[in-house]
Amino acid sequence: MSTTKNLDIYFMDARSKLIDIAAFMDRVELKGENDYRFEAFQQALKAIIGESKGARTKKVLEIFSDRTIEPIDQAGMKGAAGAWNPESDGKSK
């Protein structure tokens, strides 16, 4: 598909998501507390800007991925956190 056609189809949706991301970041940063998920989020944003064409999606997925190589005995919570916590149990790759 051409660049123009991609922009015609997806630009407004991507623009809306960027505005949502900006609002999310403003809300999170209001308290100024550190959190591994927000740190991973910021790394992912930097990767989107800094990576070469075609490598952005892979890099973002790697940033959020669990890097442990050994299974843990028991999950620390019921749901997924959405980002790997570098301070969690397990051995990093």
Q: What angle do CA 60, 61, 62 make, to 5 degrees?
A: 90
pLDDT of residue 66: 83
Q: What is the pLDDT of residues 18-67, one digit of tens each?
A: 999 999 999 999 987 889 999 999 999 999 998 778 889 999 999 998 87
